[in-house]
Amino acid sequence: MSGTADKTFYLETFGCQMNVHDSEKVIGTLLQEGYRQVPTVEEAGLILYNTCSIRDKAEQKVFHRLADYKKLQAQGKKFGVLGCVAQQEGEKIFERAPHVSMVCGSASYRNLPEMLVQIETGNRSTGLDDRATDHCFETEYTARTNPHRGYITIIEGCDKFCAYCVVPFTRGKERSRTSSSVLAEARQLADLGYTEIQLLGQNVNSYRDPDGKKSFAELLAAVGEVAGIRRVRFTTSHPRDFGRDIVDVLEAVPTLCDHVHLPVQSGSTRVLDAMQRLYTRDQYLERISWIHAAQRDLSITTDLIVGFPGETEHEFEQTLSLLDEVGYDSAFTFKYSPRPNTPAIGLDDAIPDGEKAWRLAVVNEKQKQMSAHRNKRHLGRTVEVMVEGKNPRGQWIGRTSQIKVLNFTVPEGVELKTGSYVDVRVTASFSNSLVGEMVSAARGS
């Protein structure tokens, strides 16, 4: 690696919004330690991968990537693996990829300054805090990549131990930040000109204020009342901890977005029990009834897994019937695949991959039709969007409070600023997006 006068790094991120925001904080830490971020691996002295272990064969993909770049070791470059695969594979990474200098799980990011010193002096460095850690990764030095939407992690880790999920083993136990620190960060973002905040957590609504001052719903309301903030989102909620008070707050605080992401995973109570999801179909539907009864038009999105070990055709049909009963606006869907160290790894995964693929295709087609039907209700309405840029056809792109993509035209000669808010009348709808015409700049924009 080059000398201390020009310490350069390249960071590639895989996975969820938690990983994206973790990388923002890692980048900020590196910059604070005198490093300079560069856009290519060729320019970098330190090459880092922030990894995700959710997808099938995720660790294999990481090792293939590391093998591709082994040739760069001769140029004096150093390599580090961060995130979930780092925690999952641990020091086995050094065995399979000896050119790697640093392995660091997300629960150990607070130790990065010391770890960087170790690798700069030619040593290997390992950060693999387990579920015993009580620390969150809080830093003043966050290199935010979006100038208008700011992420704030309010809870790290997971205590749910769903049978298919590796997250409790890779991100440690649930540990929440104080509401005071979250609100201080929200006010700081507002002062910097941010207008949208997204609260993050593996189970964001499992938040427990260490100071005992605020519930999750109360924290949502408080963030929504920060001066200058126009939109507040949160993800991902766990149905077990989803209370009616969350819906009450969504109704009471206008800045909270009209959207709830509530992963169900299966429509069968027996499969949910096998998945160790901690709720039944009826309990899940009770929470949906609270959302449906709200005075605001709340969009509902979800996550679904098909082909979990033992899922019968009848149980798969129960998932399909759940789609009809709930009326999701969209869904993220997955085929089950075994993940290392998870409880389900010992189950007989007897469902052929072809059958899983068929079930996934059926779910996707049904949800596509449902999404198209749900989006039609916006036709003729005027909605506020946050401007995000232009699409290849020259239309402007924005997102509604329901987090829906809206492509729209503007009057001739009008130029918009990314991050501004405009009112758009919806003129057409599709399964994945809306189309419209700008009416005016939104109030307060």
Antiparallel, parallel or unpaired: β 434-441 and 421-429: antiparallel
The Cα 324–Cα 425 span in angstroms is 28
Instruction: Give buried/exposed letters for 22-37 (b at 16+ CB in 10 A, else e).
Output: bbbbbbbbbeeeebee
The model's pLDDT over 276-290, given as tens digits with 9 standing for 90+, comes to 999 999 999 999 999
The model's pLDDT over 319-353, given as tens digits with 9 standing for 90+, comes to 999 999 999 999 999 999 998 889 998 888 889 99
pLDDT at 445: 66
Q: How far is it between the farthest Cα atoms of the chain?
A: 64
The Cα 418–Cα 396 span in angstroms is 10
pLDDT at 239: 98
The Cα 224–Cα 443 span in angstroms is 17
pLDDT along the chain (445 residues), means of 10: 68 89 94 95 94 81 88 90 92 93 92 94 89 81 87 95 93 95 97 96 97 98 98 97 98 98 98 98 98 97 97 98 98 93 87 96 98 98 96 95 97 93 98 96 69
pLDDT at 366: 98
pLDDT at 278: 97
Domain boundaries of the chain, sorted by first residue: 4-127, 379-441
Q: pTM (2 decimals)?
A: 0.90
- Classify domain 379-441 at the CATH superfamily level: Nucleic acid-binding proteins (2.40.50.140)
The model's pLDDT over 374-427, given as tens digits with 9 standing for 90+, comes to 999 999 999 999 999 999 999 999 999 999 999 999 999 899 999 999 999 999
pLDDT at 444: 67
The model's pLDDT over 298-309, given as tens digits with 9 standing for 90+, comes to 999 999 999 999
- Classify domain 4-127 at the CATH superfamily level: Methylthiotransferase, N-terminal domain (3.40.50.12160)
Residue 240 tokens read as: 């077990």
pLDDT at 2: 40
pLDDT at 9: 97
Token pair 């679904």: residue: 304
